[in-house]
Amino acid sequence: MRPFTLSALAAAALLATSALALADQDVPGSDWIPKDQVMQKLQAAGYSNVTGLEADDGHWEGKGVKNGQITEFHIDPHTGAFTKEEVDND
């Protein structure tokens, strides 16, 4: 019984690690807009010098220069709509 318990724990640890690795991939889910399409949308909206574009907490997020100011943004991964745009005062 003990070898089974160790195997089960090892399998659970492997699955948890795999889930974390998938959290910040270019396309975290099959229904997410790909990163290159997000970049196209950002450029069309007037962004340049985009940095840190990543999937995080259920949305695309990053920073870029818009209207001469560093702006933080969040983008809905399904619709491509901006859900947050604010000037970064840091």
pLDDT in tens, 15-67: 444 444 444 455 688 899 999 999 999 999 999 999 999 999 999 999 999 99
Q: Cα(first)–Cα(last) distance of the chain, in Å?
A: 56
Range of the domain at 53: 25-87
50 in a structural domain: yes
16 in a structural domain: no
2 in a structural domain: no
19 in a structural domain: no
User: Looking at the 3D structure of the chain, how many domains does it have?
Assistant: 1
Q: What is the CATH number of the domain that holds 64?
A: 3.10.450
**Per-residue CA distances from 31 to 21, 46, 64, 77 (Å):** 18, 25, 25, 8
11 in a structural domain: no
15 in a structural domain: no
pLDDT confidence of residue 1: 47
Whether the model clears a pTM of 0.75, i.e. scores above it, the answer is: no
